[in-house]
Amino acid sequence: MSQCHSYASCMKMCNSLFYFFYVVFASFTMILGQLIVGTVLGNISSTLANRDTQRVQYEKDLQQVKVSLVLVFKKLSMIIQLELLVL
């Protein structure tokens, strides 16, 4: 670094150094903020996508239960009809 020959040159050098650190700090803060916002938005979209997937799986499971109940009901219905015929 150059030596300060006068008060004005020392202040100029100090101000330029302060400005450099200010720019670095501001840039770092903006990048950090963008990373945080990106992470939050990514988590929200992931949660919504998983919710849709879980909903589709729930609908499939529910449909399988309905089909099973219909088959059981038909089987029971036939058994009851046969027993009524026997009586």
Q: What is the pLDDT of residues 16-60, one digit of tens each?
A: 888 889 889 999 999 999 999 999 999 998 888 888 888 888 999
The answer on pLDDT for 3 being more than 70 is no
Cβ atoms of 5 and 11 closer than 8 Å: no
Which residue range forms the structural domain that includes residue 44? 1-87
Number of domains in the chain: 1
The answer on pLDDT for 9 being more than 90 is no
- For residue 33 the two structure tokens come to 């903020």
Q: Which amino acid is at 38?
A: G
84 vs 87: CA distance, rounded Å: 5
For 29, the 3-state DSSP assignment is helix
